[in-house]
Structure 1
């Protein structure tokens, strides 16, 4: 018999406080209690039972339960990932409220949370607004290697994570947590076949390596291939936009002593993808390029977590990570071929237009973090307050070689970049009594960086940044908790490469800071069978970093790309998420995001020297509404069905023009039969074959039209049908 576990949360609140914040706790508590009549009596938590499930946010310092964390967080657990048949993060991201991505790569790599995030990274310092971490390995800005196979859960933390993650988490954080080793043997394999010549082979194995059970392992592998939904009519190929993706993970857990645990994670991913996604006529799927692009990423990484719990008053955690990535992104910039252009007339002669762009790079990142955190015996302030202090260091080195070729003329650029970060952080978590708890954290981070390139540009900016949070929670009853949170995040300043003389004043730009004000209510209903998370937020961005681009009117194939600081801007909105286990067999879930964004005072110069005023306009890739809904039904006899829908309202594609997407809604379904040892599913994605844009440009790319500006759109995946079979061995 297949049944769902009912959701109910019974973990004690992770209490957080700072003496500095006690002075403002009264004001914050007034904000929380103004709409409620609270009882002064202590709230009794329900007793845990075997079928209750507690969702733990593993990216938190202490691994707090989701319903107790005073923040807007989405957790997509393993059951939902498997029910929806998600193979890649791209297939679950639409179910995250106020979340978007920029489709300028073969897989999602650049993300936006609440309207804040990058849309591309063609040049400059690799500073991300949205952090991306896989099993404690920092992959920020390199997020395309995100297989969902054998994953425990996906966590998306909205708003600045200044205390925990610092400079790479101005807008929020994406954290992927894979399954840990088990103390009993379990193995599995899975095969998927589908349209677009899709083949996916996956397998995992887990269990003890020693009779004592003190050394455990887990290994998972996946190889995914498909053609990429494009037909190159010029070359007569259907795989120039193809995906060829391998992901391997290995984990070891060693209980070295009763008080020392070591967790080693090894990651290797090799994504050898094509990139042939753009067409001059905007039909979306029939390309004409003679030199199709590539989008490759090969990453080898590891993390080692050591946890010592032998001291009476504190626990020590050491977290070491390393990652080496080789990446290559290139495209055929004229989106056609010599025969196509030669048949057209440009300025009274046969056209000659041949342009390619390639960037190859290598990034190495090493980081070390030490954390001391209190045990129950080590609490301070009469046993009311947990404490945590930590030290973090990181070194990043990245070398890039960029090559542009226009009508046989080559323009190479070699660049070297390195950065060193050092941070100290602390957090206090306190029980204030009467159902109140307060969390206060702070982080101070220094960054020294150095850049030089073959064009003669050289920069060595250094700066000190700080961030943190204050969060006050109130337990209204054993089923409801309200909170107010104020957080400050930061993103390091940087520099612009190879700018023309008229833009020499934009060589460098300043640090951006973001203040996030949030109020929320987390609730359980119907004796734990239903839950909702509701949050309202207001974001104050100061010295907002804006990516701008200008097409060179004298050399139309060239673009001047740079980042600059705009005036302050403000985003506000809300997120609502709900789950309902309607019966033992039926689960319903939904999300809704509402987002309002606007520039402050911001003007820029277009390619003709005119002034464009974006003051008050919405930010790019910031739809007003994002939504999703899903239903999973399992019969007692083993039959299974899952139906999901998700969509977005329209949004601007860029900060540099007025080009907009269309609103869209897509539907997915999965039907199957499940047993304890094997399962089989028929599935369909984008069932109604909705044509929807994920990235757009507005510029001139056709010399026979005198380089007139035009909108070009890259579309998401069309309808796909397939079959998946998996087996498990115990």
Structure 2
């Protein structure tokens, strides 16, 4: 089974995984599910005893070991072995990666301590890029099903040359399986506690006898109650998940020199949001107006690759995405009867409390982008055939309208309609030069212009425009057939912006400046003991200038309301290391692991709390930046067809916010999967969070209880508890 046509013409971005003795044993035991999930993976080559994993997110497809950057690739086999249904299920396998649990599914990410924790209002401005099949979903990446996915790529550090302003901290790239030139069809059903039901299916093959037109369709419907019981409403699904994902791909070999690829994506996530409790109860709530967290995204990507010219190849990338999102929550985290049973003091009088707060935001986002790039062929190299070159132009238009409404004790509290539009233009180029003696020098530069406009019903109007630049210089050296070493300097940037609806006393914070980040990195990518162990090691130092910090203040006159704004915090430095390792212990047994070590600190940064008191965060760790992240997993496949996977992951403690000292607790989560894999079917028993670990994924420290005089207190949102389920998979050829 292969993606390659019979004439050996393959996709520009085909991924080939070859793993000799182990791969042969593993492939022989793979189930229908495994083949369904890895149909973009070529059959093992017994003459190649190393794994070759190709990174597709860069301009040119290149093997992971030759990329001069710290990158984690999670392939289809690991996704299946760990029973990952959503991107949330694999995130803990990524070193120095974290996320903020203020939504039903993760969409705010941090790489090496850099990223957002939330976005309640304002203009989109992500630090971590999120791309699905070349469709940009940065800041709204919750629609990320793992079904029929070829691989997940996480590129750490600024991606200034390739992706520009949305990839200051790094990039997450999801690549689904491509169409095949032979018919393949499959179906999968998963059932579990929490009323989990997941139904999935795919179909792939040729649409013409010539084999020049290929298709692939994958669908998944996922439902579960969401692990929370609402005791007041006597419901168990107020935090439920109802998620549909559909992908379709067409590939047309129009001529021998022209390949056209069309990708269609539709995702409809209609989720509840009811996770907060006044008592920090991880499983029960008492809200009377549970929130929602829904997102409906329809997107398309069109790629044209022309290879008919002798000196260069032309690539055109067009993408479009239309997203409607709705986010709301019960801000008092209780109900009217609960508060009426409490006593509140106001103006010297004691009476039953009256506290009812609800926050609601709907939004519509549209993005349209176009990229053209020319890249040299072997015949088009310059400087005595030593240098590959690439040059391109890029344009994107983003529009987002938001409608914000909140009520306090049945009266409107905040009402704000806003419109935002930004247009980006970029020119970029890259040179990759063979210096001889197995040295390669890579130099890239991107210049980007952003023009934007914001207006709202509060009479705020902003028209910021700016020119930004980023790029990289990387030198790599092949030490021998087992070891590659590299050094890299990269510059990334994140656009400046503005804060709306600020009180008069914060007028000096209306606008904030562009942030820049310099990343210095050295790495070693190795095969040990004749390919039995693979390791990727990176050491990095990050210099952030004009760091953007999300600050907040609880309004002392209106405790239900928070004043949210972004400001610059001077410079700061992060440094640390990442290690990914795989050990092919036997033909049937494989171990894999990741380890991240991170040190972060604010530079010179002080802010004022709601009482006007100066708070100094100089030298403190950044929010959502654990010092240690780790994972360890093992997979065993017997020749008889039996399968077992055990994996664990965890984090050390970290601060929840930039505005207070509330912290998480360290935790470790253990998952397992057991099953039997036949040639046309497979069946599994699986468990996630087997020891029912209670671990925080988001926290706040503020006053939300009027009966206690709005005294500040830590509130925690917990991750998913233990879940047990079964999966049945079938494959049809």
Match of 1:267 among 256, 265, 283: 265
2:19: which partner in 1? 6
SS in 1 for 2:507: helix
Pick closer, same or farther for the CA change 1:267–1:124 going to 2, 3 Å. same
Kindly indicate whether the alpha-carbon contact (under 8 Å) linking 2:258 and 2:305 is maintained by their aligned counterparts in 1: yes
Q: 1:717 pairs with 717, 720, 725, which one?
A: 720
Aligned to 1:655: 658
Gaps of 5+ in 1: 9-46
Runs of 4+ in 1 over 2 A off after TM superposition: 4-8, 47-53
In structure 2, C-alpha distance between the alignment counterparts of 1:634 and 1:524, rounded to whole Å: 23
Q: Which residue of 2 aligns with 1:540?
A: 543
* Contact 1:7-1:530 at 8 Å conserved across structures: no
**Unaligned residue ranges in structure 2 (runs of 5+):** 1-16, 22-44
Assess if the C-alpha contact under 8 Å between 1:534 and 1:575 holds in 2. Answer: yes
Does the aligned pair in 1 maintain the 2:20–2:46 contact within 8 Å?
Answer: no
1:342-353 matched pairs, under 5 angstroms: 342-347=340-345, 348-353=350-355
Q: Are positions 1:570 and 2:573 aligned together? A: yes
Which residue number in structure 2 is paired with residue 155 of structure 1?
A: 153
TM-score where L is the length of structure 1: 0.94
Task: State the match for 1:488 in structure 2.
Answer: 491
Q: CA deviation at 1:123?
A: 1.2
Alignment of 1:436-447 (within 5 A): 436-447=439-450
**In the aligned structure 1, how far is the partner of 2:194 from the partner of 2:328?**
23
Between the aligned partners of 2:652 and 2:493, the Cα distance in structure 1 is 29
- State whether residues 352 and 407 of structure 1, in contact with CA within 8 Å, keep that contact through their aligned partners in structure 2: yes
Match of 2:104 in 1: 106
TM-score, length-normalised on structure 2?
A: 0.93
1:126 equivalent to 2:128? Answer no
Q: Which residue of the partner structure matches residue 35 of structure 1? A: none
Residue deviations 1:603-638 (CA, integer Å, cap 9, x gap) = 000000000000000000000000000000000000
Contact 2:632–2:648 (CA<8 Å) still a contact in 1? yes
CA contact (8 A) 1:6 1:528 kept: no
**CA displacement at 1:53 relative to structure 2:** 3.8
Aligned positions of 1:395-474 closer than 5 A: 395-410=397-412, 411-474=414-477
- 1:550-699 to 2 correspondence within 5 Å? 550-699=553-702
Shift of 1:51: 6.4
- Partner of 1:374 in structure 2? 376
| 1:48 CA displacement | 8.7
Alpha carbons 2:426, 2:449 under 8 Å: kept: yes
Partners in 2 of 1:407 and 1:626 — Cα distance?
Answer: 43
Residue aligned with 1:597, SS: strand
Q: Measure how far apart 1:526 and its partner are.
A: 2.1
Cα deviations by residue, 1:86-142 (Å, 9 ceiling, x for unpaired): 000000000000000000000001000000000000112101000000000000000
Find 1:206's aligned residue among 204, 207, 210.
Answer: 204
Classify the secondary structure of the residue corresponding to 2:665: coil
Q: Match of 2:501?
A: 498
Q: Distance in 1 between matches of 2:260 and 2:649?
A: 40
Residue 304 of structure 1 corresponds to which residue in structure 2? 302
Question: Is contact 2:20–2:48 with CA below 8 Å preserved after alignment?
Answer: no
Counterpart in 2 of 1:529? Answer: 532
Q: CA deviation at 1:7?
A: 6.8
Contact in 1 for aligned 2:535/2:579 (Cα 8 Å): yes
2: distance between equivalents of 1:601 and 1:683? 48
CA distance in 2, matches of 1:408, 1:234: 19
Per-residue CA distance 1:480-500 (angstroms, 9 max, x = gap): 000000000000001001000
After TM superposition, the structure 1 stretch with the greater mean CA deviation from structure 2, 299-308 or 524-533, is: 524-533
Q: Confirm or deny: 8 A CA contact 1:276 1:287 kept in the other structure.
A: yes
C-alpha separation in 1, matches of 2:49 and 2:615:
59
CA–CA distance in structure 1, aligned partners of residues 363 and 672 of structure 2: 39
RMSD: 1.0
1:726 to 726, 729, 732: 729
- Work out which of the residue numbers 363, 366, 371 in structure 2 matches 1:364: 366
Taking the aligned partners of 1:467 and 1:686, their CA distance within structure 2 comes to 41
Q: Deviations over 1:2-23 (max 9, x none)?
A: xx96379xxxxxxxxxxxxxxx
Alpha-carbon contact 1:73-1:157 (below 8 Å) kept? yes
Give the C-alpha shift of residue 580 in structure 1.
1.2
